[in-house]
Chain A
Amino acid sequence: MPLVTIDDRPIEVEKGALIIQAADRLGIEIPRFCYHPDLRPEGNCRMCLVEVQGFPRPAVACATPVADGMVVHTPHTGERARSAVKGALEFLLLNHPVDCPICDQAGECSLQDFYMNADYGLHRSQVERAEKVQKRKAIDLGPMIVLDSERCVLCSRCVRFTAEVTGTAELQFVNRGNHSELRAFEDRVLEDNYAGNLVDICPVGALTSKDFRFKRRVWHLAYTDSICAGCSTGCNLRIDYFKGEIERLLPRRNPAVNKSWLCDEGRMSFHSLTAAPRLLHPRLQGKGDAVSWDDALTAMHAGLRANRRPGTMPALAALISTSATNETLLLCKRYVTETFAAPLLDCRFNHEDELVDQREDSLLLRRDKHPNTRGALLLGLTTPFGGLPYMLERARAGEIDAALILYYPPMVPHEEGETLEALRALLEAVPFSVVLTTHEADWLEAASILLPVAAWSEEEGTYTNHAGVVQQVGRALLPPGEARSAAAVATSLLALAGRSPGPGGPADRFRELTAAVPAYAGLTYESLSSRQATVYPPEGRMPYGHEGFAGH
């Protein structure tokens, strides 16, 4: 393994690793615009110039593989590198419009951040604003993107993204020299499901999010790492929120799952949380007003176990959504299997088990629009007979006494009419039913008891993606009204049933999970946490560990 010394610090890396990658692992900050770990290197911004002993000129760290014994000096310790990078930054800012007061990128802008670095920034401008080359601004490129070609630093990340990742090649430069401009042909809107990534990879405010435009200054945002609940791929993301409202979702880099990308559907999925009114209070059918949780839970536990057909055990049909976290699934399973003799317990509303691995495109999307189907399958939440369709059949035959349903509306809206009709029919066909859900909906009319539960981003837990990767889901918001996390509800029910619910925290629940599922043996909750650098640590240091934040 080649050994390289950067700024007097040695590190061994695999053959073919680039100097910039070695520096990132050492935590040494080499500035960059055009380099991106998931795009082919181009070496055009010249910000990553470093001194390599024995080379006649500074070399670009992003395109130079490490050779054994290489000695490198970055701008932090090398005068030639420092002055080269300082010069490059001055050139980049030469024609850059001073848009910061109206530019969404402010606060997470590479130009700002590098300029404020004492080693290679803070030069005095030598040009008048009127001298700068002017280009077209505020160009609408569709539902996701606004282009400002004047702010563009021509790093070509977006050009490479549309060429290499989506294969659509919709963005390209036109003209030459300092009149070079980024353009989409005839300003035609970008028509693919991955345009949002352009905003992340653009290091400046040239490509910005239309959805997020002018909403919030980024330094006001709090953030939590989480996992997308749009499909079974389980892309890693970060939830940015402010005072109880989600403002945007950004991808986190995970080479094994989603690289640096997020699809547009998943990126916009948080909007579905506010698309319909939330269920805020427990409700009993016939009693229009809300009831207390205690009353509701007591009524639920009694109602589910009531003997409706003399001489038989209560037949329970329990349908638990694969959008629930593993912890919720385990606790629900425990409640159902420990309380009832032969329950019909299944997670399948609509062939989730068949769809879980099936791709919907060649990049990230999968056809199963639930984040945790694999987790549910590993927990054994299937019967040989089938899910919702089978239960409905049995219910219509009068063989089901009670139904317990945990349902989450999909984070990425899709056609669900048939499933909802079947659910409504199930509720109407059974004498007693309890539905735990997040939002109000028509099909809930016939439910005996409605319990409001926390939605995605309102509870911690884990999902297992299609390939079996267990990932931690984060909590950014508090559930509204009286909603509680479904895991907490299941815990309360276990207590009512006289079962030991087990200890309460997320780590404890995860331990219980690893004990229950052989496939999870050896995993710990700590190992799931986002172990790489988060984006804006309190010290204000820009993290260039690319294994962390997907954008920079």
Chain B
Amino acid sequence: MSILSERSVAMIEEARRTAPSAQSVLLTALRLTQEERRHVGVEEVEFLASLLGLSNATVDGVARFYDELTQEPTGLHRVSLCRGIACHLRGGPAMIEELRRVLGVGPGQTTADGLVTFRLVECIGDCDHAPAVMLDDRFLGAASAADVRAELDRG
């Protein structure tokens, strides 16, 4: 049984077709896996290793190098609060507490219903909207905790 969807496997194969090496598509493959499976766990590592002809340890070593790739599943949505210096100077610490209140979980944690993972991230390059928040891949800019909650509830 394939761990990844046919579509994802096809995308990986397509990327590999024009790539200079099988390993050079690994990062793309890992991103696809994280998107689809919300984590890169044991099964996912074994699947990608087999698909690309790499050792398990090689795939695992790469997967566990990057902040966006997780070993345990993240929630359906990720609320990422920047903890870069500019955001730190413009209300970052207070925002952590507000989001904790509004989301019901602290940084590094996922809600019990598996819907939201709240995490702190390093400078995301939205410093002119400090304290900057991202919801999944979207920049919410200078959103308040209430705004974030509203975005989540909107689905």
**A adjacent to B, CB under 8 Å:** yes
Which residues of chain A have a CB within 8 Å of any CB of chain B?
A: 162, 168-176, 183-186, 188
A sample of 18 cross-chain residue pairs with beta-carbon separation below 8 angstroms, ordered by A number, consists of A162-B57, A169-B54, A169-B57, A169-B58, A171-B57, A172-B55, A172-B57, A174-B60, A174-B61, A175-B65, A183-B57, A183-B60, A183-B61, A184-B57, A185-B55, A186-B42, A186-B56, A188-B56
CB-contacts of B42-63 with A (<8 A): 42, 45, 54-58, 60-61
Q: Are A176 and B55 in contact (CB-based, < 8 A)?
A: no
**Residues on B with beta carbons closer than 8 Å to the beta carbon of A188:** 56
**Residues on A with beta carbons closer than 8 Å to the beta carbon of B45:** 185
Nearest Cβ on chain A to B144's Cβ, whole angstroms: 32
Please report the C-alpha to C-alpha distance between residue A174 and residue B70 in the assembled complex, in whole angstroms: 12
Q: Are A170 and B60 in contact (CB-based, < 8 A)?
A: no
Choose from B42, B54, B55, B64 the contact partner of A174 (Cβ within 8 Å): B64
Q: Are A185 and B65 in contact (CB-based, < 8 A)?
A: no
Please report the C-alpha to C-alpha distance between residue A168 and residue B58 in the assembled complex, in whole angstroms: 10
Chain B: interface residue total (CB-CB under 8 A): 11
| B46 nearest CB neighbor, chain A only | A185
Please report the C-alpha to C-alpha distance between residue A248 and residue B56 in the assembled complex, in whole angstroms: 31
Interface of A, helix, strand, loop or mixed by DSSP: mixed
Please report the C-alpha to C-alpha distance between residue A172 and residue B64 in the assembled complex, in whole angstroms: 11
Q: Are B64 and A185 in contact (CB-based, < 8 A)?
A: no
| A174 nearest CB neighbor, chain B only | B64
Nearest Cβ on chain A to B44's Cβ, whole angstroms: 12
**How many A-B contacts if CB must be within 8 Å?**
34
Please report the C-alpha to C-alpha distance between residue A135 and residue B47 in the assembled complex, in whole angstroms: 27
Nearest Cβ on chain A to B29's Cβ, whole angstroms: 17
**Residues on B with beta carbons closer than 8 Å to the beta carbon of A183:** 57, 60-61
Please report the C-alpha to C-alpha distance between residue A184 and residue B57 in the assembled complex, in whole angstroms: 6
**Residues on A with beta carbons closer than 8 Å to the beta carbon of B42:** 186
| A176 nearest CB neighbor, chain B only | B65
Q: A185-B45, A186-B42 are in contact. Are A170 and B57 (CB under 8 A)?
A: yes
Nearest Cβ on chain B to A18's Cβ, whole angstroms: 27
Q: Point out which of A162, A172, A184, A188 has the most chain B C-beta atoms below 10 A from its C-beta.
A: A172
Q: A185-B45, A186-B42 are in contact. Are A169 and B55 (CB under 8 A)?
A: yes
Q: Are B64 and A168 in contact (CB-based, < 8 A)?
A: no
Nearest Cβ on chain A to B42's Cβ, whole angstroms: 6
Please report the C-alpha to C-alpha distance between residue A188 and residue B49 in the assembled complex, in whole angstroms: 15
Please report the C-alpha to C-alpha distance between residue A148 and residue B65 in the assembled complex, in whole angstroms: 21
Nearest Cβ on chain B to A52's Cβ, whole angstroms: 32
Please report the C-alpha to C-alpha distance between residue A162 and residue B56 in the assembled complex, in whole angstroms: 13
Nearest Cβ on chain B to A190's Cβ, whole angstroms: 10
Please report the C-alpha to C-alpha distance between residue A102 and residue B138 in the assembled complex, in whole angstroms: 52
